[in-house]
Amino acid sequence: MTLLFRRPTPSGRLHATITLTIAAGFLAAACGGSSQASPEGAPAGGPGRGGRGGEGPIPVVTAAAVKKSVPVTETAVGTVEAISTMQVRSQVAGRVAQVHFAEGDEVKAGQPLFTVDPQPFQVALDQAVAALARDTAQADNAQAQLVRLKNLLDRGLIAREQYETQLANAAALKATTDAGRAAVAAAELNLQYTRIQAPAAGRTGALQVHEGDLIQAGGQAPLVVMNQLAPIYVAFSVPGKLLDSIQRLQRAAPLRVGAAVPGADGAATAYGRLTFIDNAVDATTGTIKLKATFDNIGKHLWPGQFVEATLFLSLDPNAIVVPSLAVQAGQAGSYVFVVDADSKVEMRPVSVARTEGDESVIGTGLKAGEVVVTDGHLRLTPGARVTSRQPVSTGAGTS
């Protein structure tokens, strides 16, 4: 900034001095302000953040590849099925007089479930018994008459036609008594059917009828549905290519099967035995249906439930195993970062034979004792130096 004085002076010397002095003052102020502001902003000079070449070792989490026995398994989605599902229906028509259980009860075989009003059936039985008594009396009288006529016929006092007529009458009355006995048996059976009992042990479902309802004999809708829960089936399918192995191993001893409910907190896996192999491979899916039987004492498995079924085929005693987190997917396939003795990483291709839980069984590419990176892959490049958050063991990891 320059100040100009228009007052005339004897010489221009005083005017120039004032102008230069004021301009020098403003320049000094500007420089001073810039110098004080610099600590608050980015530094104008000095060292900054170094590039990758200046960084230290990259921290990673590591684990050693180990050799151990790992089961050879096949996992599939299974469905829990009741071994026995019973649809309880009435064999007689009538009014439901009493229900002897609550929905969801565990019942035993032979335990009463329903009572149909027995009075009409008791009356029918009494009628059948009375009719039988009448017919029996008539048949006995006809038989006695037949004996007398036979004596008279032998003495020649009556015609043979009279005797034969009485013989036919006696035979007809005897047949009537036989029919009467059958009617009594049917009436007793119908009376017995008014007491509906559990055909087998199981758990009852929702009631479809209640006291006072009229029901039909063999109605379309069941009175209640019962499921047998212990033991219980788990049905699942595996690839048909495993059929030969499954049959061969099953002949030696029943194969072990595990069943776990996905997402169940703290639920232990139940174990059972393979008991059924279907007689044909599904041509559409190329799979074979299997069933395993579980004791299910604790009722952890429930009909209709989806479970993760694991079929244990054999045991691999020399499997090379690493945490599944160590295996990365690339364009050329799976690979791992291997840490050498100098704490430098090597990107090595591997083949994963199978996955068991949170561990991967390595087919080729690793040896027992080699250290792999399980966390921190994003910053790694081949040859990068790393530091482990846990001790790196160089000994053989054989267990």
User: What number is the average pLDDT over the span 136-164?
Assistant: 92
The highest-confidence range among 50-64, 149-163, 283-297, by mean pLDDT, is 283-297
Going by pLDDT thresholds of 50, 70 and 90, the confidence category of residue 267 is low
Confidence check: pLDDT of 121 > 90: yes
Residue 52: pLDDT above 50?
no
Is pLDDT of 202 > 50? Answer: yes
pTM of structure: 0.67
For 75, list phi and psi in degrees, rounded to 5: -105, 140
Burial class (CB in 10 A: 0-12, 13-18, 19+), 294: buried
Higher pLDDT, 397 or 367: 367
Label residue 27 exposed, middle or buried (CB < 10 Å: 0-12, 13-18, 19+): exposed
Identify the CA nearest to 91 among candidates 200, 211, 192, 224.
192
pLDDT digits (tens, 9 = 90+) for 16-36: 444 434 444 444 444 444 444
3-class SS shares of the chain: helix, strand, coil, % to 5: 30, 35, 35
CA atoms of 330 and 323, how far apart (whole Å)? 17
Domains of the chain: 59-70+318-388 (2.40.420.20), 74-83+227-316 (2.40.30.170), 88-111+199-226 (2.40.50.100), 118-193 (1.10.287.470)
Which helix or strand (DSSP H or E) is residue 179 part of? helix 160-193
Query: In angstroms, what CA-CA distances link 126 with 95, 115, 123, 129?
Result: 20, 20, 5, 5
Higher pLDDT, 88 or 17: 88
As a whole number, mean pLDDT of residues 117-127 equals: 97
Q: What's the confidence (pLDDT) of residue 134?
A: 96
Q: Is 53's pLDDT higher than 60?
A: no
Which pLDDT band, with edges at 50, 70 and 90, does 118 fall under?
very high
Mean pLDDT value across residues 248-256:
95
Among 15-24, 83-92, 351-360, the least confident range: 15-24
Residue pair 398/319 in contact (Cβ under 8 Å)? The answer is: no
Q: Which helix (H) or strand (E) holds 22?
A: helix 13-37
Per-residue confidence at 15, pLDDT binned at 50, 70, 90? very low
pLDDT confidence bin for 266, thresholds 50/70/90: low
Q: State what percent of residues in the chain have pLDDT above 90.
A: 73
Return d(Cα 294, Cα 234) in angstroms, integer. 8
What pLDDT does 46 receive?
A: 37
| Confidence tier at 242 by pLDDT (50, 70, 90) | very high
| pLDDT at 269 exceeding the cut of 60 | yes
Where does the pLDDT of residue 390 fall: very low under 50, low under 70, confident under 90, or very high at 90 and above? low
- Tens of pLDDT along 303-324? 999 999 999 999 999 999 999 9
* ω into 231 cis (within 30 of 0): yes
